[in-house]
Amino acid sequence: NAWVVIKPDDTVVIRVARSEMGQGSLTGLAQLVAEELECDWTKVTTEFPSPGQNVARKRVWGDYSTGGSRGIRTSHDYVRRGGATARTMLI
């Protein structure tokens, strides 16, 4: 799905569309997905989707901005759902 990529070597790539400004947003959002997937945390990485990917997918990631320490507050729900959807697709 747009949020989670599971590679053949079981590496899990979490796409995060929020800026990291020292609050731990990348780590926190990745942990939410890893928890939903019950995957090996050592195999989890994050990446920022490119603006081109966002346009090609009809802006599925919305805007890439963050501010006021809202990265996790405004993203946790749909990021967790992305992880849960990926898990459902696997079982």
Q: 13-62, pLDDT tens digit by residue? A: 988 776 676 777 888 888 988 888 898 999 999 888 777 776 676 666 66
Q: Helix axis angle, 25-37 relative to 71-90, nearest 10°?
A: 30
Q: CATH class for domain 4-90?
A: alpha beta
Q: Report the helix count and the strand count for the chain, using DSSP H and E.
A: 3, 3
Q: State the CB neighbour count (10 A cutoff) for residue 79.
A: 24
Q: Are 47 and 79 in contact (CB under 8 A)?
A: no
Closest CA to 5 of 42, 37, 27: 37
Model confidence, pTM: 0.69
